[in-house]
């Protein structure tokens, strides 16, 4: 799916961020550091796998990440929502994917309620239709009231309007343009929000009419497959908080099919372990009807067959690989996070608007990294760069070091470097800084 940005152009974000003195620009503009030293300041960009405050914890020297920018699927969450998340977990540092996780649980609950059963093979047909058309509602209680009257629900969630396409994923999504400050923490005041995609690409089949007399059956049981350990563990706390808050809100409104929703938590680990497989086996044996997760696209690809072939729904708040758009999932896989075709457009537009003429891409070798790198490269070429202006390198995230990849960037000497990775990104960035082409000011 190839779509353009909405009228709220990413150019606005790019222009606003260009005003910040730490930003570089193209090879002819260089930035303040370049003006003083005669050397250009290379602009460093990240993506949702590393643009979090956890990255900054690996750096002790002030300014090590200053000015590093990047994209992540992110909606401007209300203070009321974030305050409630903090009540669930007072230690939260970020809210990345908290809204998407909240909405994933909500959609499962609403679909089961609309279908009158906790059987995922039945309620899967209701999911897409809950995200467009009909009467708008923003919380479970008001949506439940619409369903109880036989009405058509259009759930606009914490992460936005959703508006699922036929593949069970957002047709349009909000992205945050994030930036690190001198203290190596994200500067919330510098965050900008942009839209990518087009709601017109949403599905048109609203699915079956809601059942007004639910069938007798057991309670809805939802399992979580979220990163409590591994290279995406920094995403675990906000996602877990989002899931718990959703279940709390649902049960306070009367639950699903007249019974409280049950939540069984589980760890996804990362792709280097079999933690996810063990967790999925346990969740399936526990009789879950749906599993929320994983965060990592690579991890989801290791368990999606086991989940969907068991007749259980999988809905991820953070999978972005475009492989899932056409995956043979028996109609049981959904995601509230947008595919990387959309994030790549937002990222490429940001890079172009910042005036970069040559771009290096360092991407981890997994479905997320290679897919986002390829889509970003294609968007940069569509925006006017030639393929010779771009060098894209994939790396093994388990490698002992990334010296050769860093040296290739030194030799290329681009205006901008994009690092698409997870926790290993800190070691790559340290190498770039030591070589004089990192974000360090």
More confident call, 26 vs 385 = 385
Query: Locate tokens 């109880």: which residue?
Result: 148
- Stretch 285-300: mean pLDDT: 97
- pLDDT, one tens digit per residue, over 321-339 is 999 999 999 999 999 999 9
Peptide bond preceding 391 in cis form (omega within 30 of 0): no
Kindly report the backbone phi and psi dihedral angles of residue 95, in degrees, each rounded to the nearest multiple of 5, phi listed first: -120, 20
- Minimal CA–CA distance to 345: which of 47, 53, 61? 47
Question: In whole angstroms, what is the distance from residue 425 CA to residue 84 CA?
Answer: 31
* DSSP conformation letters of 371-384: HHHHHHHHHHHHTT
Question: In whole angstroms, what is the distance from residue 134 CA to residue 220 CA?
Answer: 25
CATH of domain 10-75+173-197+341-434: 3.40.50.2300
Question: In whole angstroms, what is the distance from residue 352 CA to residue 328 CA?
Answer: 35
- pLDDT, one tens digit per residue, over 137-166 is 999 999 999 999 999 999 999 998 999 999
- Stretch 104-108: mean pLDDT: 98
Contact 207, 54 (CB under 8 A): no
Element (H, E) at 86: helix 79-88
Helix (H, G, I), strand (E, B) or coil at 139: coil
CB neighbourhood size of 436 (10 A): 12
Environment class of residue 239 by beta-carbon count within 10 Å: exposed (0-12), middle (13-18) or buried (19+)? buried
59 to each of 43, 289, 436, how far by Cα in Å?
Answer: 18, 42, 16
**Would you say the CATH fold of 98-164+203-336 matches that of 10-75+173-197+341-434?**
yes
Percent of the chain with pLDDT over 70: 90
- Stretch 280-305: mean pLDDT: 97
- pLDDT, one tens digit per residue, over 359-374 is 999 999 999 999 999 9
Helix (H, G, I), strand (E, B) or coil at 264: strand
Question: In whole angstroms, what is the distance from residue 319 CA to residue 313 CA?
Answer: 15
Question: Which CATH fold would you assign to the domain 98-164+203-336?
Answer: Rossmann fold (3.40.50)
pLDDT of 246 over the 80 cut: yes
Contact 193, 76 (CB under 8 A): yes
pLDDT score, position 215: 66
pLDDT score, position 14: 36
Q: What is the mean pLDDT of the chain?
A: 90
Environment class of residue 221 by beta-carbon count within 10 Å: exposed (0-12), middle (13-18) or buried (19+)? middle
* DSSP conformation letters of 336-376: SSPPHHHHHHHHHHHHHHTT-S-EEEEEESSHHHHHHHHHH
Query: Locate tokens 């961020």: which residue?
Result: 17
Using pLDDT thresholds of 50, 70 and 90, give the confidence band for residue 216. Answer: low
Question: In whole angstroms, what is the distance from residue 163 CA to residue 130 CA?
Answer: 8
pLDDT of 348 over the 60 cut: yes
Contact 322, 345 (CB under 8 A): no
- Minimal CA–CA distance to 14: which of 416, 368, 323? 416
Using pLDDT thresholds of 50, 70 and 90, give the confidence band for residue 111. Answer: very high
Q: Tell me the whole-structure pTM to 2 decimals.
A: 0.83
Query: Locate tokens 């063990």: which residue?
Result: 278
220 to each of 155, 306, 307, how far by Cα in Å?
Answer: 19, 20, 16
- Stretch 67-80: mean pLDDT: 93
Question: In whole angstroms, what is the distance from residue 261 CA to residue 271 CA?
Answer: 30
- Stretch 249-270: mean pLDDT: 97
- pLDDT, one tens digit per residue, over 195-215 is 998 999 999 999 999 997 766
Q: How far is C-alpha 247 from the chain's CA centre?
A: 21
Domain boundaries, the chain: 10-75+173-197+341-434, 98-164+203-336
- pLDDT, one tens digit per residue, over 10-24 is 333 333 333 333 333
């Amino acid at each position: 799916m190839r779509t353009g940005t909405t009228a709220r152009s990413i150019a606005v974000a790019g222009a606003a961020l260009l005003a910040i003195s730490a930003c570089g620009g193209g090879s002819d503009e260089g930035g303040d550091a370049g003006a003083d030293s005669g050397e250009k300041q290379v602009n460093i960009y990240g993506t949702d796998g590393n643009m979090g405050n956890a990255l900054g914890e690996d750096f002790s020297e002030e300014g090590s990440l200053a000015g590093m920018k990047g994209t992540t699927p992110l909606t401007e969450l209300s203070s009321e929502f974030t305050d409630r998340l903090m009540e669930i977990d007072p230690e939260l540092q970020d809210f990345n994917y908290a809204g998407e996780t909240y909405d994933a649980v909500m959609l499962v609950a609403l679909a089961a309620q609309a279908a009158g059963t906790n059987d995922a093979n039945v309620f899967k047909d209701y999911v897409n239709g809950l995200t467009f058309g009909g009467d708008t509602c923003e919380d479970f209680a008001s949506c439940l009231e619409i369903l109880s009257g036989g009405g058509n629900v259009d759930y606009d969630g914490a992460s936005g309007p959703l508006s699922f396409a036929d593949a069970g994923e957002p047709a349009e999504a909000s992205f945050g343009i994030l930036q690190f400050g001198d203290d190596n923490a994200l500067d919330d005041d510098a965050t900008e929000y942009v839209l990518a995609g087009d709601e017109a690409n949403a599905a048109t089949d609203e699915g079956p009419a809601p059942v007004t007399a639910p069938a007798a059956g057991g309670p809805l049981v939802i399992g979580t497959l979220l990163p409590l350990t591994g290279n995406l563990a920094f995403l675990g706390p906000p996602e877990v908080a989002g899931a718990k808050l959703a279940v709390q809100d649902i049960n306070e409104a009367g639950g699903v099919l007249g019974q409280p929703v049950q939540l069984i938590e589980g760890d996804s680990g990362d792709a280097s372990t079999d933690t996810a497989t063990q967790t999925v086996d346990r969740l399936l044996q526990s009789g879950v009807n749906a599993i929320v997760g994983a965060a990592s696209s690579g991890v989801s690809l290791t368990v999606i067959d086991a989940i969907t072939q068991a007749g259980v729904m999988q809905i991820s708040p953070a999978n972005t690989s475009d492989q899932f758009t056409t995956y043979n999932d028996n109609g049981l896989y959904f995601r509230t996070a947008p595919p990387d075709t959309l994030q790549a457009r937002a990222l490429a537009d940001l890079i172009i608007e910042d005036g970069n003429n040559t771009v290096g891409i360092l991407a981890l070798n997994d479905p997320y990294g290679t897919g986002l790198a390829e889509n970003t490269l294609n968007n940069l070429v569509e925006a006017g760069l030639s393929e010779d202006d771009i060098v894209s390198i994939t790396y093994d995230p388990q490698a002992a070091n990334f010296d050769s990849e860093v040296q290739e960037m030194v030799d290329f000497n681009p205006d901008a470097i994009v690092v698409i990775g997870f926790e290993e990104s800190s070691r790559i960035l340290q190498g770039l800084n030591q070589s004089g082409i990192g974000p360090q000011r």
